Amino acid sequence: MKITFPHMGDAYIPVKILLDCAGIEYVMPPVSGKGLLEQGTLHSPEFACLPFKTIMGDFIYGIEHGADCILFGGGCGQCRFGYFGKLQDEILKSIGYNVNFIYLDLNNISFKEVLEKIKPLTEGKSMLSLSKAILYALIAVFKVDRINKLCRFTRCWELNKGQTDKIMSRFHNKVQKARGYKNINRIIRTTIKELKQVALDKKHKPLKVALVGEIYVAAHPQINFEIEKKLGSMGVEVHNTLGISYWIKEHFIKKLFPFKIKNKDHEAGKEFMKTNDIGGHGLSSIGASIRRAKKGFDGVIHIYPFTCMPEIIAQSTFSEVQKKYNIPIMTLIVDEMTGEAGYTTRLEAFIDMIQMKKKACYAMYHQMRPV
């Protein structure tokens, strides 16, 4: 049995480690491929969101290259993501692909459930070796996110523009060819060392911008037009409030404790939305914007896929958030028809605007300061 799985940013790295260490054969779709999105769009409902179409394209590629099993997650909830797996399974069957779905309930995921789901694929493997595979994958999640945080920092501060991008390009090329935790961990350590050695412009005073919104689009460079890379090249220090480690902490690690640990962004969002849940990361988008404004960030970019209801609801509050907390917020909505040129122009205009705002505030402060 050979398995395939969809991409979501750098999630392929821990998934790859899990499958390598568990001795499971797999087909990994290309990390970037315009053709896959076109294929996914062809077989998806017209008004399905971009993540649905991207994931569908990954599935079709994997099946056409020998996979007969799909590893995917879902669950109940107010976001339609919970129903992706069931619907995609039906669509694949309707176009002649009969494959097995290993379906993880992401709202109630546990160590035990992961073991039970992958056990049929690992004949002869001990429970200890499977547990190690899951543990190594979890460790990799946080190590990869550490690399991403470090590269977001060095990219805007670097003296030699493009150096960080070259390091990250080498990192991904090596990881895609490597197998097993030890080899990939060695590449991670080397990359962290290289990023720490990047020469920085200590005179630079970057704008600080937070990225909020729907987690799949915010975490997946191939469908957000590499927004972190674009902003970093403009000298902006990007703080992505969403990522794979964020999701693991919220839906896996926190559930290991016998008491409830509240999500600060989620709780802060209730100031403008008097409910416990609007689906997806909608409340967290509102709360993250409020909390970053309080921390002195220069702006917020809200990004989500076209037709994403939780983020549409969250967006309706941002005019009030901007007024109360005096922070510029720009919303970007993406789908398969989004043009990169117009998208980039909007980013550049937004950064120019908050740069002018910051200079005006600085000049006003010096004028009003007593001599």
CATH code of the domain in which 104 resides: 3.40.50
Tokens 């209801």 identify what position?
309
With residue 336 as reference, give the H or E element that holds it.
none
What CA–CA distance (Å, rounded) separates 26 from 18?
A: 11
pLDDT of amino acid 350 = 97
Cα distance between residue 254 and residue 299, in whole Å: 30
Q: Are residues 99 and 224 in the same domain?
A: no
| Single residue among 116, 136, 156 that ends a domain in this structure | 136
**Number of domains present in the structure of the chain:** 2
DSSP calls for 193-217:
HHHHTS-B-TT---EEEEEEE-HHH
Residues 86/92/93/95 CA torsion (nearest 10 deg): 150
pLDDT digits (tens, 9 = 90+) for 200-248: 998 999 999 999 999 989 999 989 999 999 999 999 999 998 888 887 7
Whether 351 and 219 share a structural domain: yes
Cβ(118)–Cβ(130) below 8 Å: yes
The edge-to-edge listing of strands for the beta sheet with 26-27 is: 26-27, 3-4, 69-74, 100-105
Asked whether residue 290 is domain-assigned, the answer is: yes
Question: Is residue 128 domain-shared with residue 214, that is, in the same domain?
Answer: no
Quote the pLDDT of residue 140. 94
* Any domain includes 169: no
Whether 243 is in a domain gets the answer yes
Q: Which residues of the chain have pLDDT under 70?
A: 33, 74-78, 105-111, 251, 255-259, 362-371
Element (H, E) at 271: none
Q: What pLDDT is attached to residue 256?
A: 66
> Domain end: 119, 136, 153, which one?
136
Residue 307 lies in a domain: yes
What pLDDT is stored for residue 368 in this prediction? 63
**Residue 263 maps to a domain:** yes
Residues 114 and 225 in one domain: no
- Does 167 fall in a domain? no
Show which of 85, 112, 136 is a domain's final residue.
136
Is residue 341 one of the residues assigned to a domain? yes
Range of the structural domain that residue 100 is part of: 3-136
